[in-house]
Amino acid sequence: MDLEDLQHNPVFDLENEQFLGYVLGTVVDADRTCLLGIVTRTRIARPKMIAPAESIHLLHDDGVIITKSGFRWLPLQRALWRAWRAQRRAGQLSAVCKNEKVGVVFDYGVAEDGRITTLLIQQGILGKSVRVRRDKVTKIEDGVAYLAADALAPKKPKKTPETAAAGSLVDDAATMFGKTLAKASHKLKLGARSGLVGKPAPWTITGDDGGVLVKEGRPLTAEALAVEATRGRTAELAGAVAGGTLGRSLAKRKRKKS
Residue 153 included in any domain: no
State the average pLDDT over residues 76-102. 88
Same domain as 213, residue 170: yes
210-223: per-residue pLDDT in tens?
889 999 888 888 88
CA–CA separation, 161 and 179 (whole Å): 31
Same domain as 115, residue 29: no
Residues in CB range of 252: below 8 A, 6 or more apart: 202, 203
What's the whole-model pTM score?
A: 0.55
Same domain as 99, residue 59: no
3-state secondary structure of 35: strand
β-pair partners for 141: 144
Q: What is the pLDDT of residue 80?
A: 92
Nearest to 65 by CA among 172, 173, 179: 179
Label residue 252 by pLDDT band (50, 70, 90): low
Residue 126 belongs to domain spanning: 93-147
Alpha helices in 114-218, H assignment, sequence order: 161-174, 181-189
CA–CA separation, 199 and 196 (whole Å): 6
Same domain as 106, residue 68: no
92-107: per-residue pLDDT in tens?
889 999 999 998 998 8
Nearest to 145 by CA among 153, 154, 155, 135: 135
